[in-house]
Each structure stands twice: as C-alpha cells, then as structure tokens.
Amino acid sequence: MTSSAPSHTPTTAAFYVQAVLSFGLSLTAVGIGVVFLPVGGWVRAFLGIAMLYTVTSAFTLAKVLRDRQEDTYITSRVDRARLDKLLTEHDPFKLDVP
C-alpha cells in the first residue's frame, strides 16, 4: 500500500516578491498618511503605534496559523503511518487457535 503525501505547491519567486512589495507599499502608504494627517502629535503617535500593533498582530496570527497547519499535517502523517503498519501486519487468514 502506498501512502500519498498531500500535494504541496511551493511558493514561486514572483508571488513572494509580490507579497513583499505589497506589504512594503501598504505599510509605507499608511505611514505617510499618518505623518501628513492634519492632527496633533499625540493623535499621530497613537495612530502610528496602532499601525505597528496591527502589523505585529498580523505576523503573529500568520505564524500561529502556519504552526497549527504544520501540526495537523504531522499528526495526520503519524496516524497514516500507524494505519499502514496495522494493515501490513494484519493477516486475515491467520487462525487464533490455542
């Protein structure tokens, strides 16, 4: 019995560059918007810290989701290996006569 690994599509270089550029552009745009906002310094500081908090929270969420997905994948591989071992060791024609 062959065990098939789940298909894993690697990230292409173009997709990686697009994601990095998109993140950098959006962070820069919001940063410029906060700097040039016609409000007091305390409001700008609050918005800047809120933006940084949002960015770090997004990174943390992405890491947690990735870790959970990897844990699920590893658990399913272990379960699949146990099932394969049981199936290979099982002999339906073996008689259990004492």
Share above pLDDT 70 across residues of the chain, in percent, rounded to a whole number: 86
**The overall pTM is greater than 0.85:** no
- What is the DSSP code string of 47-75? HHHHHHHHHHHHHHHHHHHHHHHHHHHHH
Tokens standing for residue 80: 């699949």
User: What residue segments make up the domains of the chain, in order of their start?
Assistant: 30-89
Out of 5-9, 15-19, 38-42, 53-57, pick the least confident: 5-9
pLDDT over threshold 60, residue 61: yes
**Closest Cα partner for 51 from 16, 23, 21, 18?**
23
1 confidence band (pLDDT: 50, 70, 90): very low
Mean pLDDT of 38-56: 93
Neighbouring C-alpha atoms within 13 Å toward the C-beta of 57: 6
